Structure 1
Amino acid sequence: MALPNKAKIPVGTLLAGKHRITREIGRGGMAAVYEAENVDIGKRVAIKVLAQELTTSAVVVERFLREARAAAAIRSPYICDVYDSGRLEDGRPFLVLELLEGESLYERMTVVRNLDLETTVAVVMQVCRGLSKAHAASIVHRDLKPENIFLTHDEENRLLAKILDFGLAKFYAPMDGGGDNKQARLTREGAVFGTPAYMSPEQVRGQGAVDHRADLWALGCITYECLTGRTVWQTDQGVAMTFAQIANAPLPRPAEFRPDLPQSFTLWFDRALNRSIEKRYQTAKEFADELAIALGVSPSGRGAEAAVGTPSLDDIPVELHAREESQDSVVTISAPLSALIQQSQASMPALERRVPPDGPSSPGALPSGNPGLAFVGPPAGAAPGQPGGAMPLPRSEIETTLSPRRRGSSVGRVVLALFVLGLLGGAAYLGYQEFAQPQAALPPSASSKPSAASMASATPTAEPSVVRDTPSAPMGDAPWIPLLSSAQEEIAKGNVKEAFPMMKEAFDKGAHGVPRTMLEHLQVAMRDAGGKAPCGLTGLGRPRTYDLVSRGVRAVPGSRPSIAVGPRGAVMAWTDAHEGSEHAYAVSLDSALRPTSAAVDVTPEGYAVGRPDLKRVGDRFVLTYWDAKGPEAGVHVRWLDANGRIAGPAVAAASIPRGGNFWPSLAASPEGFFVVWSDEGDANSDSEDLFLRRLSPALEPVGQPVRLTDVAPAGPVKPRARFPSIAVHGDAIHIVFRLEREPLHTIHHMRLPIADAGKSVEPAARGERVDRMAGEVALANTEKSRSDGPGISCSADACYLVWHGDPPIGGASAAYVDPAAAQPLWRKKFVKVGMHPAVSVDAEGRAQIVWFEGSRVATAALTRDGVGPATRFARVSGDQPMPSIAPGTKPGEWYIAWLDYEAGHLEPYAARVQCR
C-alpha cells in the first residue's frame, strides 16, 4: 500500500493565480508545507496543503479549514497568521500562512535537552499571551504540544514564540451566535481530540465541555518537559496506558530529574496539573505570572516583554503561620516578603536548616522541612500587587498544613514568631540571592568573529611548549576563586581530602553555584578516595569562564562537551549562545584542569552549531560538528592547533541546505578520515539513514557521500538510523548506530570493508519493503528492548560497543567484537541503572568506559573478560547526554567531560582520573 501524503506540488506551480511554489519545506501524515512567493508583491509565504487521501473526509477538511478561521478570529503576534485559503484543481484545500524561520520547541529540545529557566519562562509567557487572545475569542486550541510552538526572532532579534496549528481548535461559543452542525459534529460528546501526552483528564474522558483550561493543562506538561527533558507521562506503552496515567497516576516530582528546581515550582506544577479543573490556574495570565514567581525569574528574560501586573517582592504579602507544639497554638505574621527578607538577614548565621528523614511533611512545607512553617497564598480572586495579591504558593495547596488556632502564651507566640521570621527570612534570602543577585564567575569568550586576516593566519603566537601550572585566563575578583584554584591544585596532586576544606571555604565565601557544584563533585570522589576503588580523581575543572569575569553576566546553558588530550595538554569544546547564535568554543586546560586562556569561538561562520567532537591527530585536533541551519548547513570538519585554536578553514563534509540535526562521527584511517552522519537524504525520503564520506589527510572531501542504509518503513512513523559512532580497524570501518522503528529502538553494529566504502546501497525495488545496509550488520542488543546512546572504540585486537536501555528496562551494556566480524562475541548489561555509557581506547589498547549511574559519574576498565570494578568520582543531575572520554599521556590516565546542572543552567565539567 502506498504511503500517505506522497503527492507533490512541483516547484514553479502557481496557486490561485498568485502564489508560486519555490520549495517544499516538509510534510507529515496530514499535510505538506511549501514555501511560495506572491508574484504580485513578492511576499514570501508558507502554503499548507492537505494530503490527497484525506480530502474525502468532510470532517478532516473542516478541521483543516478551521485553522484559518481561528487565526482570523484571534490576530496575535504570538500566533502564526493565516492570510488566505483555497483549493487546488484536484480539490485539495490549502492555507496561505505566515512564513516563519527558526525551529519548533520540540526541535530545540532535541538539541538542548533541558532549557534554562529564563528561556522557559520567556517561551511560556509568550505562548500564554497568544492563548489569552484565543481564549478571549472563545477559542481553545486542544492540541498544544512542543511541535506546535515555533521559536523564531522578532525584528530586534529577540526570542519570539508563536503558536501553530489551530486545526483542532474548538469554538466553544459559536462565533456567529447560531447553531453550527459541523461544529457540533466535530466536538460531539465522547469524541477524543489531541495528542495523548498533553491531553487533560476532561479530554481523555471525551467530555464535550472541554474549555480553555485544557490548553493550560497541556502547557503545564510542556513546561515540565522544557525543564526536565522528559514528558510527564510515560508514553511508550501505548495510548491506553497514557490515558490511564492521566486519569489516576501520581504526578512525577520535578526535582527528582532536576534537583536545582525550587520547591515552589513543584507546587506550581501540582496546581497546573490538578485533576480538578476548578483548582487549576483559571487564566493564561495567572498561569504565566505564577510560573515566573515560582522559578524566581523575571518574565522579561530572553527578550520577552515584561508581564503586566507581575508583583515585585514588595508587592507580595506573606502570611506566616507557625505552630507551637507545646501550646498547640498558631502564630500569624503578615508583611511584604521583601520586608521579611530584610529583617531576617542578620539572623541568618545562627539558623540551622533541618530536613526530616522523610522530607517535607506536606506540599505546603518549606524546603527546610519544618512542618510548622508554610507560606499561605492570597484570598481567591485577589489581584497581583493588591492587598492579598498573588503569591507563589497557592492557598488551596497549603491550608491543610495549618492547625486550628488556640489560646496560648502571648509572650511565647511573640518569641516563636521572631524565631520563625528569622528562619523564613534565611531560607527566602538564600533562594532570592540565587536568582536575583548577579553571579560572579570566568571571562568572556575572547572570540568575537575574527577578521579575514586573523582567519587567514590562524597561527597563535607565543605558544607554550608545556602545560601551564597556573591559569592565565582572568578569573574575576570573587573571594572564592583563589580558594577554588588552590583546591584544584591539590586535586591534581591526588590530595582529594586536602582539597575538601579549601573547596568548602570557597563555597562558604559566596554560596556561588561554581564552588557549590564543584564541592558536590568532590564529595562523591571522597567516598572512594583511599579505598579499594581502582581509580582516583586527579583533576576537576569548570572550563567555561566568560560569566565569572564580571558581575551581572548571566550564564547561558552549555551543551554536551568533548575532550581530547594533545602534546600540550587537554582541550575541551562545547557549544553555547552567550554571544548570540549557538557556536562551538574550545579552551586548553592546565594540569589542574583550569583554563589557560579565554575560550575561542572555533565555528565563527556557524548559525546553529551542534555536537562538537574533538579527535587528536598527531600534534593537532580535528573538530567535527554540524550546523543546523543557514547557508552552510550540514556536517563540517576543521583543524585546531594544540591549544584548541583554529588552524584551518571549515570544510563541508556534507552540505545539506535544508538543515537539521545530523549527529556526525569521525574516525582516522591510514589514508585519511571517514565521517558518518544521519540524514533523510531528501525531503521525500521514507526514512532517515546513514551516510559516509571519505576525507583526505588534509580533510578534503574525496568522492561523493555514500548511502550506507535504506531502512524500510513498517508503519505510519518514519524509521530512522541515528546516532552513529565510527571506528576504523585495519581494512574495515566499524559503525554502531540506533535503528528507530517504533516502538523498538535497537542497536546495530556494521562492519564495512574500506574497499567497499565508496559503494552506496542499491535502492529497493518498487513496492519492496526490506532493509538494505552496506557491509555486514549484526544486532547488538538481542533482547530488542528500547535502547539509546551507542558508542564504539577499537584497539589493536578488539572493538568495544556500549549502549544503554531506555526505561523501564534501563541499564548500561557493553559488547566485545572481534574486528574480523560484525557479530559480538559477548554482550553483557554491566549495571542495572546505568545510562549513556561512552568508551575509549588508549595507545596500549586498554579500554575504559564512563557512564551515569543514578546521580553519579562512574568509570571502569573494559577488557576481553568484561567490565571491571567501578569508581564513582563526580555527580550528575538530570538525564544528560553521553559524556566524553579520552586517554591521557600516562598509562591508566583518563580525561572525562560531561554536562551537569549548576544553579539552574547546564554547565560543562571536566575531570581526570588515574586508574591502576
Structure 2
Amino acid sequence: MALPNKAKIPVGTLLAGKHRITREIGRGGMAAVYEAENIDIGKRVAIKVLAQELTTSAVVVERFLREARAAAAIRSPFICDVYDSGRLEDGRPFLVLELLEGESLYERMTVVRTLDFETTVVVMTQVCRGLAKAHAASIVHRDLKPENIFLTKDEEGRLCAKILDFGLAKFYTPMDGGDKQARLTREGAVFGTPAYMSPEQVRGQGAVDHRADLWALGCITFECLTGRTVWQTDQGVAMTFAQIANAPLPRPAEMRPDLPPSFTLWFDRALNRSIEKRHQTAKEFADELAIALGMNASGARGVEPALGTPSLDDIPVELRGGEPSLDGGFGIARTSAPFSASQPGHLSAPGVERRPSPAGLPTPDPELRSLPPQSPGLAFAGPQPTGPVGPGGERPLPRHDVEEPLRARRPGGWGRALLVFGFLVAVGGAGYASYKQFLQVPQDAPPSTAASGTASSTVPTPSTAEPTATRIASPPPTSDLPWIPHVAQAQKELAQGNLKEALGPLKEAYDKGAHGVPRTLLDHVQVALKEANGRAPCSLTGLGRPRTYDLVGRGVRLVAGSRPSIAFGPRGPVVAWTDAHEGSEHAYAVLLDNTLRATGPAVDVTPEGAAVGRPDLKRVGDKLVLTYWDAKGPEAGVHVRWLDPDGRIAGPAVSVASIPRGGNFWPSLAIAPDGFFVVWSDDTDMTSDSEDLFLRRLSSNLEPLGAPVRLTDVVPAGPVKPRARFPSAVVHGDALHILFRLEREPRHMIQHMRLPLADADKSVEPARRGERVDRLAGEVAMVEAEKTRSDGPAIACGAESCYLVWHGDPPTGSASAAYVDPSAAQPLWRKKFAKHGMHPAVAVDAEGHAQLFWYEGGRVVTAALTRDGVGPPTRFARVTGDQPMPSVTPGTKPGEWYAAWLDYEAGHLEPYVARVQCR
C-alpha cells in the first residue's frame, strides 16, 4: 500500500544549483508540485517531485521519468514542455516543467458544462496537432482525458490547448533499453482512466497504438458537446469496461438536439470498436470533425472563443474538479499569473455535480472537492479544479442533465489502488468535517436596522444616506494563519487613502506564509501603485476578499467561487456569489465594512437551490433584490427574493419562470416606477427551433403579474439553432431597454430593443406558416454592425442618456461603447475604446455620471464615460484569465465606485472587491 505523500521541500531550497523553490502548488499520492525560479535567468517554472514513498519502485520511477523523455522527443506548441529532470539528495526524481496559465478542459466543462461547436473544433484541432507530433515520434499518450488537456493563450492572446502528463506514454520503438519498456507495457496490464479507455486498452493488449488516443479524444469531444461522459460509470470499473466492450453507443442528438446528423456519423466512426474502421490519423480525426459540425478546420483555428465561457456565454462559476488516472498520476503545473486567457461559464451540472477532491486526489464522496494549488496564481492540471466565461464574463450552467454522479468517474482498480483510494477518502473526510465545524463558529455581525418581511406596496427610492463610517468587520474565527492581522492593517491603510503604506503590511503578510490571499492582494496594490502618479483620474481606496470560510486555518478545502455581484445598500456594499463549499451550488451574500472586510460570515441566500447560477443584486429603497437562476431540481428556473441591508434573507424565493428541464437563463431585473421586469433567455421549448428572450412583470412586492411574455422568435438561417441570449435590461421613462446578443452562426450580433411599457404585456405574434422572418417586440436596432463575433452586452441609463457596452472576440475584437437617446433604439454613436479590452461593464450614479470597467492586458481598468466619449483609463488591479464581466455599483461620494470581479488565487477562482475614487 502506498503511503501518503508527506515529505515537503522547504521554501528557499535550491534544486540542481539553479531552481529556488518559492512555494508549493499542490500534492497528490504520486507527486508534489512546486513553483520555482531559475536564479540565473529569473524564469518561473514548475517542479514536479515524486513522492518519497514511491522511489523504491523502479517501475513507478521509470513511469515518472518517462514524461520527460516523451516531451523531449516531441516539439509542439500544443504539448506542455518538460525542460529538465534530476534527483534530490534523498534520491527523489524531479521534473522541471513549463508553468502554464489557464485551466484544464475539465475545469472549463465544469463551468460551462457544454462547449459551443466552434470552441470544440478549435480545441480538438489543436490537440490533434499535438498528437500528430507525438504519434510521428512513435509515442502514444494512453491517458487522454479532459484533465490532461489544458486551455491557455498563446503569445497573441488566442486560445491554445496543450496536452499534459505523458506519464503513461508508450514508445512504439523502445528508448533507452527495450527490456524496461517491455516490462512497463506487458500484456494484460491496464493503464489509463476508465471512461476514456479504448477496447484494446480494456483488454490489456500490449499492441495498443496511437488509435487508442483517437478513441479517447472521441469520448472527450462527445463530452464537450453534450456535457456527459459516453459511458455510465457509476457502477464501477468492471461495468464501465463491460460497456466499452459491448454496449451500444449513445445518440448525441438525444442529449443535444442541435447536433447535426453528420456529427452522429462522425461519432460512430470515432468510437468504432474495430481499430481499422476508426479514424487512422489525428489529422483525419480533426478534419472530419470540423466538417461534421459545419465548419472549416483552418477557419476554426483562427477563431478565439472565450476560454471557459460558453465562449460561449456569460458565466458564473460553480463546480470544479479533476479525475485521477488509475496509477495515481499527477498533472502538470500551471500558473494563473496575469495573462489574457478566457473563462466564460459557470457550472453546476444538472443531475450530477463534478467535484474536485482534496489535494487533487480521488475521493468517492461527492460532497468533497479537490484542494486547489496552494500558490497564488499557480495550479496544476490533472486532478485539478478551477473555473471561467461568456459574453458578460459570467459562466453558464449546464444545459443538459448529467446522469452519472461525479464518483461515477472515479477510477477503481486493483487492490493497491483501492487501498490508496480508501486512505484518501479518510483524509478528505476528516478535512471536510473540520470545514463544517468552521462554518458553525459564531461571529458577531452588526445588527440589522432593516425591517424584515415583505416590501412596501410601492418601490421605494434608494436612499443616498452615507452608511456608518465606523462600522468594523467582526474578527474571523480563531485561526492559525499569521498573516490575517497584516492584511487587515493594509486594508485600513487603503481605506485612508494610503496606498504606499499598504504595501508593507501586505509584504509582511506574504512573508508569514506565502498564502494566496496576501499574494493576490499584493499584486492588486502593485498594479494600482504604478498608476498613482498624480495623473491617473482614479485611485484605489479599498480592496477586499469577501469569502472567508477557508481562512480558519491551514488544510481547509478550497472551492472555486463564481462571478460576484455587488450593490451598495443602506449599510454599505453587499456582495453575492455562488460556490459549493457546503455541497450544492448556492448563492452567498455578505455585508462589507469601510475597509471592505466582511462584517460577519457569509449567509446562504438560496437555501432551497440545487444548482444556483449568476446571482445579481440591486438596491431598492432600504432593501436589496436578488435575482438568480436554479439549473436543476424541482424548483429549476428564474427566481427573485428580498434581502435586508446586511444581505440576509428578507422574503421567500419567488418563482418568475418555472422551467422543469433546467438550463441557462441569464435573467436581468429592471426596476420600474411601479414594480419590476425580469428578462431571461430560454431554449427549453421543444416545439421551437430557437432560443429566445422572455419577459415577466412583477409587482412592487415581487409578485408575478400575468404570464411570461415572449419577446423574440428568431428563425434559423442554417443548421445551427439561432439564439437570443444574455439580456441586460433597464427601464428609462416609458420604455424598457434590453441589450442582448443574437447568435446566428457564425456571427454574434449585439441588438438593442426599445419596448414601450404599454406594450410589455404583449407577446410577439407567431410566424405564419412558411414565413422565415424574425419576430421581435418593440423597436430593435443592430448596435454592432461589423461581421464579427460580439459578446458581453450591458446597458445602463442616466437621466437623459443610455450607455451600451460590449466586446468582440479576439484577436480582431475590442471593447466598444455606444450612446443612445432613450427615445430611440438606434445609437447616436458607437466607438471602440480599448483595442484589446474585454468584458466591459457600465454603471451610472444618481447624478447621471457613467463609469466604465473592463479587463485589458491582465489588468482591471476604469474610465469615465460621457456623451462625448471615453475618458483616460486607470488600471487599479490585476485579473488573471478571461474572467466574467465585473459587477459595478456607485458609492455614496461623488466619483466613488465599487467593482467586484473574479480572479485566480492560488489556482482557484476567487471573488475580489475594490473601491476607486475618481476625480
Question: Structure 1 pair 524/192, CA: closer, same or farther in 2 (3 Å)?
Answer: same
Map of 1:726 onto structure 2: 729
Given that 1:442 and 1:474 are in contact with CA atoms closer than 8 Å, whether structure 2 keeps it comes out as no
1:651 aligns with 2:716: no
Aligned to 1:289: 329
Contact persistence 2:793–2:805 (CA under 8 A): yes
- Distance in 1 between residues matched to 2:230 and 2:618, nearest whole Å: 34
* Aligned AA (1:803): W
Of the three residues 856, 870, 873, the one matched with 2:873 is 870
Instruction: State the alpha-carbon separation in 2 of the partners of residues 492 and 880 from structure 1.
Output: 26
For 2:468, the equivalent position in structure 1 comes to 466
Distance 1:828 1:677 in 2: 27
Residue 361 of structure 2 is aligned to residue 299 of structure 1: yes
Could you say which residue in structure 1 is the equivalent of 2:398? none
Alignment deviations for residues 635-658 of structure 1 (CA, whole Å, 9 cap, x no partner): 000000000000000000111111
Cα separation, partners in 2 of 1:194 and 1:523, compared to 1, 3 Å: farther
Answer yes or no: is 1:533 the counterpart of 2:536: yes
Aligned partners of 2:530, 2:509: CA distance in 1, in Å?
20
SS of structure 2 residue aligned to 1:506: helix
* 2:112 paired residue number: 110
Partner of 1:597: 600
Q: Provide the C-alpha distance between the structure 1 equivalents of 2:739 and 2:662, rounded to a whole number of angstroms.
A: 24
Alpha-carbon distance in structure 1 between the residues aligned to 2:635 and 2:233:
23
Structure 2 residue matching 1:548: 3-state secondary structure: helix
Aligned counterpart in structure 2 of residue 909 of structure 1, from 900, 907, 912: 912
Aligned to 1:750: 753
Structure 2 counterpart of 1:490: 493
Task: Compute the displacement of 1:238 (Å).
Answer: 3.7
| Corresponding residue number in structure 2 for 1:130 | 195
In the superposition, relative to structure 1, how do residues 736 and 293 fare at CA in structure 2: closer, same or farther (>3 Å)? closer
**Structure 1 residue 299, shift from structure 2 partner:** 2.8
Partner of 1:343 in structure 2? none
Task: State the distance in 2 between where 1:162 and 1:591 align.
Answer: 55
- 8 Å CA contact 1:142–1:169 kept in 2: the answer is no
Q: Contact (CA 8 Å) 1:151, 1:162: kept in 2 or not?
A: no
In 2, the alpha carbon distance for the partners of 1:294 and 1:756 equals 53
Per the alignment, do residues 445 and 786 of structure 1 end up closer, same or farther by CA in structure 2, a change over 3 Å counting?
farther
Whether the 8 Å CA contact 1:152–1:160 is kept in 2: the answer is no
Asked if structure 1 preserves the Cα contact closer than 8 Å seen for 2:195 and 2:229, the reply is no
Counterpart of 1:470, as a letter, is: I
Distance 1:789 1:802 in 2: 8
Relative distance call for 1:758 and 1:209 in structure 2 (3 A) is: closer
Residue of structure 2 equivalent to 1:825: 828
Would you say the 8 A contact 2:692–2:723 is kept in 1? yes
Separation in structure 1 between the aligned mates of residue 544 and residue 236 of structure 2, nearest angstrom: 33
CA distance in 2, matches of 1:158, 1:819: 60
The answer for the alignment partner of 1:356 in structure 2 is none
Q: What TM-score, normalized to structure 2?
A: 0.59
The amino acid of 1:579's aligned partner reads E
Match of 1:837 among 812, 835, 840: 840
Q: 1:555: how far off?
A: 1.2
- Pick aligned residue for 2:645 from 635, 642, 645: 642
1:562 and 1:613 in contact (8 A); partners too: yes
Q: Count residues with an aligned counterpart.
A: 607
Mapped pair 1:143 → 2:205 = no
Q: Deviations over 1:78-98 (max 9, x none)?
A: xxxxxxxxxxxxxxxxxxxxx
CA deviation after TM superposition for structure 1 residue 831, in Å: 0.5
Deviation string for 1:27-70 (max 9, x for gaps)? xxxxxxxxxxxxxxxxxxxxxxxxxxxxxxxxxxxxxxxxxxxx
Distance in 2 (alpha carbons) for counterparts of 1:773 and 1:127: 51
Take 1:613 and 1:661, find their aligned partners in 2: how far apart are those partners?
Answer: 14
For 1:180-209, what per-residue CA distance to the aligned partner results, in whole angstroms no more than 9, with x for missing partners? xxxxxxxxxxx997589x999x9xxx9958
Which residue does 2:39 correspond to in 1?
none
**Residues 309-340 of structure 1: CA distance to partner in whole angstroms, max 9, x if unpaired?**
xxxxxxxxxxxxxxxxxxxxxxxxxxxxxxxx
Gaps of 5+ in 1: 1-103, 172-190, 219-231, 258-282, 307-382, 387-436, 449-453
Query: Aligned residue for 1:627?
Result: 630
1:768 CA drift (Å): 1.0
Deviation, structure 1 residue 130: 2.4
Report the CA distance between 1:567 and its aligned residue.
Answer: 1.4
C-alpha distance in 1 between matches for 2:230 and 2:632: 13
CA deviation profile, 1:495-521 (whole Å, cap 9, x unmatched): 110100111111011100000001001
CA distance in 2, matches of 1:161, 1:847: 59
* AA partner of residue 150 (structure 1): R
Runs (5+) with no aligned partner, structure 2? 1-105, 120-144, 150-163, 166-190, 206-211, 250-262, 312-323, 336-357, 369-413, 418-430, 443-447, 455-465
Amino acid at match of 2:595: A
Q: How far did residue 128 of structure 1 move? A: 1.8
Contact 1:443 1:473 in 2 (8 A): no
Q: Give the equivalent residue in structure 2 for 1:677.
A: 680
Rounded Cα–Cα distance in structure 2 between residues aligned with 1:162 and 1:792? 49
Give 1:291 deviation, angstroms.
2.6
Aligned CA-pair RMSD: 5.0
Equivalent residue, structure 2, for 1:606:
609
Aligned to 2:741, the other structure's residue is in SS state: strand
Paired letter, 1:818: D
Tell me how far apart the structure 2 counterparts of residues 634 and 508 of structure 1 sit (CA, whole Å): 47
- The superposition leaves residues 544-576 of structure 1 with CA deviations (integer Å, 9 ceiling, x where unpaired) of 000011332111000000001011000000000
CA contact (8 A) 2:233 2:239 kept: no
How far apart are the structure 2 equivalents of 1:613 and 1:500?
32
Q: Mapping of 1:463-862 within 5 angstroms?
A: 466=468, 468-474=470-476, 476-680=479-683, 682-862=685-865
- Between the aligned partners of 1:658 and 1:807, the Cα distance in structure 2 is 34
Q: Does 1:882 align with 2:885?
A: yes
TM-superposed deviation, 1:447? 11
Larger relative contact order (CA 8 Å, sep ≥ 6): 2
Does the Cα contact within 8 Å between 2:548 and 2:601 map onto a contact in 1?
yes
Percent identical pairs in the alignment equals: 59
AA at the equivalent of 2:558: A
Distance 2:239 2:782 in 1: 42
What is the CA distance between 1:906 and its match in structure 2?
A: 0.2
Deviations 1:759-782 (A, max 9, x none): 000000111111110000000011
Q: Residues 170 and 638 of structure 1: is their aligned pair in 2 closer, same or farther, counting only changes over 3 Å?
A: closer
Offset at residue 878 of structure 1 (A): 0.7
Q: Tell me the distance in 2 between the aligned counterparts of 1:735 and 1:570.
A: 26
Distance 1:164 1:687 in 2: 38
Does the Cα contact within 8 Å between 2:290 and 2:296 map onto a contact in 1?
no
Distance 1:748 1:699 in 2: 28
> CA 1:167 to 1:494, structure 2 compared with 1: closer, same or farther past 3 Å?
farther
- Whether the aligned pair in 2 keeps the contact of 1:571 and 1:644 (CA below 8 Å) is yes
Name the amino acid aligned to 1:587.
V
Q: How far off is 1:441 after superposition? A: 11
Given the alignment of the two structures, is residue 241 of structure 1 paired with residue 298 of structure 2, yes or no?
A: yes
Q: Which moved more, 1:833-842 or 1:137-146?
A: 137-146
Deviates more, 1:130-139 or 1:497-506: 130-139
CA distance in 2, matches of 1:234, 1:844: 54
Deviation at 1:680, TM superposition (A): 1.8
- The 3-state SS of whatever aligns with 1:497 is helix
User: Which stretch of structure 1 is more off in the superposition, 552-561 or 600-609?
Assistant: 552-561
Per-residue deviation, 1:106: 7.6
Give distance in 2, aligned partners of 1:552 and 1:709.
Answer: 50
Larger radius of gyration: 1
Provide closer, same or farther for how the CA distance between residues 154 and 555 of structure 1 changes in structure 2, counting only shifts above 3 A: farther
